[in-house]
């Protein structure tokens, strides 16, 4: 499904930083059927993810970005909520970007679009889906993300707030909350047609399985690791329709939010 814009403070972009971008590009192209195109990956000609070289300011790993119409204002909200800015906001390919850390140190990117809004496809195999915050301190997370981005938490019944969904003020589900596994972090995820086959493909390409596959919500989920130790997740939803929330505004014109 084609995507042309995003509501404020919703996931819009995901980027891999690698010490060896060329080899990483080959792995993920084989893993998801992507087409390497310089600093971006494409799927059937549509942009699905970014690729950059890891350095001191941008450690190796996948990073999920939130769309923010005013980068400076978003950074101020993060600081006031108890987070911090990691490095200096900078011009990027098609916009301005900053990396921030929440009150527990989990990092996210912030993206202010110029001519590039973010991913151009969602709701199909190979596309970004359902990022999750892994933490054992949901109370601190709820305070931070509520103050910084206006998010609400809908906790899973019986989970005692160890699992749940992050909602916008308009009650669109945009991300997940799950128990941490040693450190607080955001986990980037990608949709696949079959979770077990994705695990087999990752192993065949030199990667490995971290956890799963397990049944989560309306699909199967597994966390994988590439040959260089970078973690990412895959999710295979059941055959349910994707619900899109649509609103209109600048600078992108139409803005969409979508669940994983």
Residue 113 is given by DSSP the state E
pLDDT tens track for 28-43: 999 999 999 999 999 9
Residue 241 is given by DSSP the state P
pLDDT at 24 over 60: yes
The structural domains of the chain, ordered by start, are 11-188 (3.10.180.10)
Mean pLDDT of 44-73: 95
List alpha helices for 44-135, DSSP H: 71-80
The answer to whether 187 and 132 have CB atoms below 8 angstroms apart is yes
Return the pLDDT at 219: 81
Return the pLDDT at 88: 87
pLDDT tens track for 76-116: 999 999 999 998 899 998 999 999 999 999 999 999 999 99
How far apart are the C-alpha atoms of 194 and 84, rounded to whole Å?
A: 38
pLDDT tens track for 154-185: 988 767 668 899 999 889 999 999 998 778 99
Q: Are strands 35-37 and 164-167 parallel, antiparallel or unpaired?
A: unpaired
Query: Which contiguous run of DSSP H or E holds residue 198?
Result: helix 195-204
Return the pLDDT at 191: 97
* Percent of the chain topping pLDDT 90: 74
CA 114 to chain centre: 20
State the chain's mean pLDDT as an integer. Answer: 89
pLDDT class of 4 with cuts at 50, 70, 90: low
């Amino acid at each position: 499904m084609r995507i042309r814009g995003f509501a404020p403070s919703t996931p819009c972009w995901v980027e891999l930083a690698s010490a060896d971008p060329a080899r990483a590009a080959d792995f993920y192209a084989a893993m998801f059927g992507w087409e390497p195109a310089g600093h971006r990956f494409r799927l059937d000609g549509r942009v699905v993810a970014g690729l950059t070289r890891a350095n001191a300011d941008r450690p190796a790993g996948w990073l999920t970005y939130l769309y923010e119409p005013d980068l400076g204002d978003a950074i101020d909200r993060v600081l006031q909520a108890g987070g911090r800015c990691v490095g200096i906001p900078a011009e990027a390919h098609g916009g301005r970007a900053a990396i921030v850390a929440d009150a527990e140190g989990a990092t996210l990117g912030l993206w202010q679009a110029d001519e590039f809004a973010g991913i151009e496809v969602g709701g199909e195999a190979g596309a970004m889906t359902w990022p999750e915050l892994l933490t054992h301190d949901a109370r601190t997370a709820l305070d931070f993300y509520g103050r910084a981005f206006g998010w609400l938490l809908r906790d899973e019944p019986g989970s005692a707030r160890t699992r749940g969904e992050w909602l916008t003020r308009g009650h669109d589900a945009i991300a997940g909350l799950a128990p941490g596994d040693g450190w607080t972090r955001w986990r980037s995820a990608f949709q696949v047609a079959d979770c077990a086959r994705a695990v087999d493909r990752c192993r065949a390409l030199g990667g490995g399985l971290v956890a799963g596959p397990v049944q989560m919500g309306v699909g199967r989920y597994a966390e994988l690791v590439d040959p260089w130790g970078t973690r990412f997740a895959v999710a295979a939803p059941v055959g349910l329709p994707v619900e899109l929330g649509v609103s209109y505004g600048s600078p992108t014109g139409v803005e969409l939010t979508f669940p994983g």
